[in-house]
C-alpha cells in the first residue's frame, strides 16, 4: 500500500496507529478474559483446606509451555504495542508506506519479546507454587527484584536503550533497501532488543509478582508508555526508581505485604 493521502493525512498517520492500537486492545481483552478464566478455574478446583491467604494470591493453575507462550505474547503485544506506535509510523514513512515491510518490522519486534517468553516460563514455573503458598522467600525474592528494577532505572543501560528506542533512525538498516523483508525484520528485531534493554527488569518484576496480574500489567504498560512517548520520560525514570526500591525494602522486611499486592 502506497503512502497515499487520505483527506490530507497519510495511512501511516491514521490506519497504522489504529491497527496497532486495535491489536493491543484485543491482546488486553484476551489477557483479561484468560486471567479471569484461570482464576475461576482455580477457585472451583481449590481444596477447602487451602488457606485464605493462598486464595488471596490469585495464582493461576499450571500451564503448558505452549499455553504460557501464547499468553506471554498476548501480554507483550498488549503492553508494548501502544508505546511503539510512533516508531512504527516512522519506519512506515521510511519505506514509503508499503504495508508488507511494516508488518515484517512489527513481527521482528514481537519475535524478540516472544523469545523472552522461554526464560520467563522457566522462572514462572519455579515461582508459581511458592506464590500460591504465600511463601516468605518468594515474597522476599519479589522484594529483591523490585529493588533491582528500581536501581536499573538509574543505570546507563536503561538510559542508552531508551535513547535508542526514542530515536528511530538508529535502527534503520543502512542503504536504500529498507523495504525488503530481511532488512525490515532486522530493523524490527533490533528495535525490540533496545526496548528489551530498557524494560527487561520491569518484565522480571512482572514475573516475580505472578505474571498474569492485570493491575501490575496495566501499571507497567502505562510506565513504559510514559517513558518512551512523553517529553518528561527521563524524569519518569527517576521518579519511579525510588518507589520501586521502597517497595522492595518493605517486602524484604515484611514479606506478608505480598498478599496485598497480588
Which residue in the block uniquely carries the three cell numbers 483479561? 32
Q: What is the DSSP string of 199-249?
A: HHHHHHHHHHTTS--HHHHHHHHHHHHHHHHSTTHHHHHHHHHHHHHHHHH
- The tens digit of pLDDT for each residue in 67-101 reads 888 889 988 999 999 989 888 888 888 888 788 99
Q: Please measure the distance between the N-terminal and C-terminal CA atoms of the chain and give it in whole angstroms.
A: 45
Residue in 163, 11, 183, 177 with CA at minimum distance from that of residue 92: 11
Beta strand 5-6 with 9-10 is antiparallel
Check whether 171 has a pLDDT greater than 70: no
pLDDT for the residue 175? 53
Question: Which helix or strand (DSSP H or E) is residue 9 part of?
Answer: strand 9-10
Per DSSP, 96 falls in state T
pLDDT for res 7: 46
pLDDT value, residue 259: 80
158: helix, coil or strand?
helix
Burial call 21-53: b when 16+ CB within 10 Å, e when fewer: eebbeebbebbeebbeebbeebeeeeeeeeeee
Whether residue 174 is predicted with pLDDT greater than 70 in this model: the reply is: no
Please state, in angstroms and rounded to a whole number, the distance separating the CA atoms of residues 8 and 18: 17
pLDDT confidence band for 249 (50 / 70 / 90): very high
Give the model's pLDDT for residue 59.
Answer: 40
Note if the pTM is more than 0.85.
no
pLDDT, tens only, 197-241: 999 999 999 899 876 678 888 888 999 999 988 888 888 888 999
- pLDDT over 90 (residue 153): yes
Average pLDDT over residues 16-44: 76
Amino acid at each position: 500500500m502506497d503512502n497515499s493521502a487520505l483527506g490530507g493525512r497519510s495511512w501511516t498517520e491514521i490506519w497504522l496507529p489504529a491497527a496497532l492500537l486495535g491489536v493491543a486492545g484485543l491482546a488486553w481483552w484476551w489477557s483479561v478474559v484468560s486471567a479471569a478464566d484461570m482464576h475461576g478455574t482455580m477457585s472451583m478446583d481449590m481444596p477447602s483446606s487451602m488457606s485464605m491467604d493462598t486464595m488471596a494470591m490469585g495464582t493461576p493453575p499450571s500451564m503448558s509451555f505452549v499455553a504460557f507462550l501464547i499468553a506471554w505474547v498476548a501480554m507483550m503485544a498488549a503492553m508494548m504495542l501502544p508505546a511503539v506506535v510512533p516508531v512504527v509510523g516512522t519506519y512506515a514513512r521510511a519505506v514509503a508506506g508499503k504495508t508488507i515491510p511494516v508488518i515484517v518490522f512489527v513481527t521482528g519486534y514481537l519475535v524478540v519479546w516472544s523469545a523472552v517468553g522461554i526464560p520467563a516460563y522457566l522462572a514462572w514455573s519455579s515461582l508459581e507454587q511458592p506464590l500460591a503458598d504465600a511463601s516468605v522467600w518468594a515474597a522476599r525474592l519479589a522484594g529483591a527484584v523490585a529493588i533491582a528494577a528500581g536501581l536499573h532505572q538509574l543505570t546507563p543501560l536503561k538510559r542508552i536503550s531508551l535513547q535508542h528506542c526514542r530515536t528511530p533512525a538508529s535502527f534503520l538498516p543502512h542503504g536504500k533497501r529498507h523495504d525488503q523483508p530481511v532488512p525490515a525484520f532486522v530493523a524490527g528485531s533490533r528495535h525490540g532488543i533496545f526496548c528489551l534493554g530498557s524494560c527487561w527488569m520491569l518484565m522480571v518484576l512482572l514475573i516475580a509478582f505472578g505474571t498474569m496480574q492485570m493491575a501490575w500489567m496495566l501499571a507497567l504498560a502505562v510506565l513504559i508508555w510514559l517513558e518512551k512517548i512523553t517529553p518528561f520520560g527521563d524524569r519518569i525514570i527517576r521518579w519511579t526508581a525510588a518507589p520501586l526500591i521502597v517497595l522492595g525494602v518493605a517486602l524484604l522486611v515484611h514479606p506478608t505485604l505480598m498478599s496485598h499486592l497480588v
